[in-house]
Structure 1
Amino acid sequence: MAALTADRNTPRFEGDIRQGDVAASTLIYAGALVMRDASGNLVEGQTATGLIGVGRAEERVDNSAGSAGDLTCDYRPGIYRFANSAAADEITKAEIGDVCYAVDDQTVAKTDGTSTRSPAGLIEGVDANGVWVRLDEALTAAAAA
């Protein structure tokens, strides 16, 4: 495409709710940690590689009997509290600013579990109830690179 030679009304994405195709054989619960797989489809947070955290599910979507893209899921980037892992993978305030890794759709850990977990997001805070995680796909990908 050639450079502009006149004014252009460039479209803008409004709001903070995003939507994506749900992977095949996937059930995402409302409130779950949502990740994108290597094919660009959404899956629930889980211990697996090749994923990246994108947001929190705004709805329950059951594509467990469907093919990839049969259903879509609304999700929202932002800062959300998830459960903290335990033992050597428990996140402390010393890890604030670091990348955390998905254990499941509601739990994050300090390490990648010897290269078995994918990055979920950035640690914003830790309290007695869990870990505050910034879910932003671009920031997480850059920090994890």
Structure 2
Amino acid sequence: MTALTRDRNTPRRDGVQFNDPLAAGVKIFAGSLYCLNASGYAVPGSTSTTLKARGRAEETVDNTSGAAGAATVEGRRGCFQFANSTTTDEITRADIGNECYIADDQTVAKTSATDTRSVAGVIRDVDSDGVWVEI
């Protein structure tokens, strides 16, 4: 490759909206926290150490009877409200600015539960309805 010698029409994305292929045998619900697994396929958020939080699903996609990549889900990155964990893993206002962890596809927790959960994102706010997480 060589350096440019003329103008280049460089494609761009806004960096907040994605279409990801689903893993085999999964269903992702609209509004849920979804992740990419170790193979790069979309899966619902769950307790696991190998997931990478991707965003909020913009639609419901059912690939329960399909092969990996047979369906895609539209997702969005941003700051979204998810359910707060309970008891010792409940997130409080004192945790704003810290990372939180994926408990399931709608719930985040304060701790990694001894390194058994993946990072969901950064806690931006906490209110009576849940936790605002920037993914």
**TM-score (normalizing by structure 2):** 0.96
Q: Secondary structure at the match of 1:88?
A: helix
Q: Percent of aligned pairs with the same residue?
A: 54
Residues 107 and 67 of structure 1, relative CA distance in 2, 3 Å threshold? same
C-alpha RMSD of matched pairs (Å): 1.1
State which drifts further: 8-17 or 23-32. 8-17
Please name the residue that 1:113 is paired with. Answer: 113
Q: Secondary structure at the match of 1:122?
A: strand
What residue in structure 2 maps to residue 51 of structure 1?
Answer: 51
Structure 1's unaligned 5+ residue stretches are 136-145
Residue-by-residue CA offset, 1:47-66 (whole Å, 9 max, x unaligned): 11111111100000111111
2:27 matched to which residue of 1? 27
| Letter paired with 1:75 | G
- 1:109-132, CA deviations, whole angstroms, 9 ceiling, x for partnerless residues? 011111111111110000011000
Q: How do 1:1-145 and structure 2 match up within 5 A?
A: 1-14=1-14, 16-135=16-135
Measure how far apart 1:68 and its partner are: 1.0
Q: Which runs of 5+ in 2 are unaligned?
A: none
Count of residues in Structure 1 that have an aligned counterpart in Structure 2: 135
- 1:68-107 deviation per Cα after TM superposition (whole angstroms, max 9, x unaligned): 1110000011111000001110001111111111101000
TM-score for the superposition, normalised by structure 1: 0.89
Of Structure 1 and Structure 2, which has the larger fraction of its residues in helix? 1
Structure 1 residue 14: Cα displacement:
4.4
Shift of residue 15, structure 1, vs aligned partner: 7.3
